[in-house]
């Protein structure tokens, strides 16, 4: 029986709707896996200072970090994952937040609202058992590696590939507004008065012998026209043999800004190195040692000049772990706590006992 023109058109519409429904189903993601984990930590900290009692004292503190993670696989085999870490011990509460698009053999693209970039991930890679050595010294300029380009940034991480018998990988970072916290998806960031955009690059080489070497560089352009471009570089070597891990890291930070009145470190550049060793006595007990040596470079600029000075941070730690519980003790000695000029140095000693539970 012959079909009318209207019946033929209706059949075409049905075919079109069926094809559209099929195409929508084809691009939808599979079931998303969600997970929540966390850690609660309580610490007793005692700090004493020689000469003047400006940073001395003791306290008990607690903090809780909760990690929310979700991931799903697309029909093309790519994986989309999101991770957010909330920490009540962090000044900004959100200590880490990023979206990762893993493209199989083509690598991973990370959109970092807070942390997650390549250069920032190697701001301190020397082996440790408890906290970083500089944690007991209220920080280190080593933390400045990658810190300006780790929020509101995009990063590419290559997969590992063979390079003449060595496993190699690299990463690239870009932050259009360096030094600014990551914004909401529909907000425009306001750049700082001195910093423009920033980018970074990392490379990593690993060998089956247990040796790993790597390097990273971060460059930040000027936004004011008066400040020089900042440049931070670091390189490291790590070696693991059985229960022992050792590492060395060197770094140089070119602040890139001109001296201004009231600036605590006007135009100062910094150089330094860190060493670390960790030994797993058995499955439960570990001991470690870290030392960070830093130099604040001289910058003669009239009334706001900076004199060269050195700071040494030495830390000895031990930890016992059983299941999800860890008990650690760490002693940190800091020579010239504030990078003071000769004759005004402040030396400190910090002891921290920590109990943490993972859940």
For residue 8, tell me if it sits in a domain: no
Residues in the chain: 359
Whether the per-residue pLDDT at 8 is higher than 60: the answer is no
Instruction: Name beta bridge partners: 15.
Output: none
For residue 347, tell me if it sits in a domain: yes
> For residue range 142-198, what is the model confidence (pLDDT) as tens digits?
888 998 899 999 999 999 999 999 999 999 999 998 888 888 778 787 887 778 899
pLDDT confidence of 49, banded at 50, 70, 90? confident
* Tokens coding 270: 């910094």
Residue 352 burial (C-beta neighbours within 10 Å; 0-12, 13-18, 19+): buried
**Which of 47 and 57 is assigned the larger pLDDT?**
47
Average pLDDT, the chain: 83
What is the signed CA dihedral for 202, 146, 133, 348, rounded to 10 degrees? 150
* Pair 83, 98: CB distance under 8 Å: yes
321-325: average pLDDT: 93
Q: What was the pLDDT predicted at 51?
A: 55
Q: What was the pLDDT predicted at 33?
A: 87
Residue identified by tokens 């001395």 is 56
Residue 33 burial (C-beta neighbours within 10 Å; 0-12, 13-18, 19+): exposed
> For residue range 202-252, what is the model confidence (pLDDT) as tens digits?
999 999 999 999 999 999 988 766 566 889 999 999 999 999 999 999 999
* Tokens coding 124: 């301190």
State the residue range of the domain holding 183.
33-358
Q: What was the pLDDT predicted at 263?
A: 42
**Which of 224 and 293 is assigned the larger pLDDT?**
293
For residue 194, tell me if it sits in a domain: yes
Q: What was the pLDDT predicted at 266?
A: 47
Residue 211 sits in a domain whose CATH number is 2.40.160.10
Distance, in Å, from the CA atom of 262 to the CA atom of 285, rounded to the nearest integer, reads: 47
Whether the per-residue pLDDT at 28 is higher than 90: the answer is no
Whether the per-residue pLDDT at 15 is higher than 80: the answer is no
* Distances 117 to 162, 170, 201 between C-alpha atoms, Å: 23, 12, 10
Predicted structure pTM score: 0.82
Distance, in Å, from the CA atom of 278 to the CA atom of 247, rounded to the nearest integer, reads: 9
Q: What was the pLDDT predicted at 179?
A: 84
Angle (CA) 140 143 147, round 5° = 145
* Tokens coding 34: 């969600």
Report which secondary-structure segment, H or E, holds 212.
strand 211-222
Distance, in Å, from the CA atom of 99 to the CA atom of 121, rounded to the nearest integer, reads: 16
132-145: average pLDDT: 83
Q: What was the pLDDT predicted at 194?
A: 75
Which among 274, 314, 330, 296 is positioned nearest to 129, based on CA atoms? 330
Number of domains in the chain: 1
Distance, in Å, from the CA atom of 287 to the CA atom of 113, rounded to the nearest integer, reads: 35
**Which of 307 and 36 is assigned the larger pLDDT?**
36
> For residue range 258-288, what is the model confidence (pLDDT) as tens digits?
544 434 444 578 899 999 999 999 999 999 9
pLDDT confidence of 302, banded at 50, 70, 90? very low
């Amino acid at each position: 029986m012959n079909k009318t023109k209207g019946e033929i058109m209706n059949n075409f519409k049905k075919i079109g709707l069926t094809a559209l429904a099929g195409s929508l189903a084809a691009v939808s993601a599979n079931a998303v896996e969600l997970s929540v984990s966390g850690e609660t930590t309580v610490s007793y900290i005692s700090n004493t200072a020689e000469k003047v009692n400006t940073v001395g004292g003791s306290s008990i503190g607690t903090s809780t970090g909760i990690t929310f993670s979700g991931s799903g696989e697309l029909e093309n085999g790519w994986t989309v994952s999101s991770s957010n870490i909330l920490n009540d011990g962090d000044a900004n509460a959100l200590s880490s937040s990023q979206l990762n698009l893993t493209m199989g053999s083509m690598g991973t693209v990370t959109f970092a609202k807070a942390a997650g970039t390549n250069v920032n991930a190697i701001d301190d890679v020397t082996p440790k058992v408890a906290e970083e050595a500089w944690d007991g010294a209220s920080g280190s300029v080593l933390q400045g590696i990658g810190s300006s380009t780790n929020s509101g940034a995009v990063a590419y991480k290559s997969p590992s590939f063979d390079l003449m018998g060595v496993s190699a990988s690299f990463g690239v970072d870009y932050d259009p507004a360096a030094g600014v916290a990551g914004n909401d998806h529909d907000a425009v960031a306001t750049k700082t008065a001195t910093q423009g955009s920033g980018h970074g690059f990392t490379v990593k080489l690993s060998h089956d012998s247990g040796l790993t070497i790597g390097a990273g560089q971060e460059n930040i352009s000027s936004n004011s026209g008066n400040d020089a471009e900042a440049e931070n570089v670091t390189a490291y070597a790590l070696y693991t043999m059985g229960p022992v891990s050792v590492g060395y890291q060197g770094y140089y930070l070119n602040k890139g800004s001109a001296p201004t009145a009231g600036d605590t470190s006007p135009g100062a550049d910094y150089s330094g190195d860190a060493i670390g060793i960790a030994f797993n006595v058995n499955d439960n007990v570990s001991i470690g040692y870290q030392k960070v040596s830093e130099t604040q470079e001289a910058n003669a600029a009239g009334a706001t000049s900076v004199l060269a000075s050195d700071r040494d941070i030495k830390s000895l730690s031990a930890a016992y772990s059983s299941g999800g519980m860890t008990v650690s003790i760490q002693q940190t000695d800091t020579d010239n706590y504030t990078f003071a000029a000769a004759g005004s140095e402040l030396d400190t000693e910090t002891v921290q006992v920590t109990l943490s539970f993972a859940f």
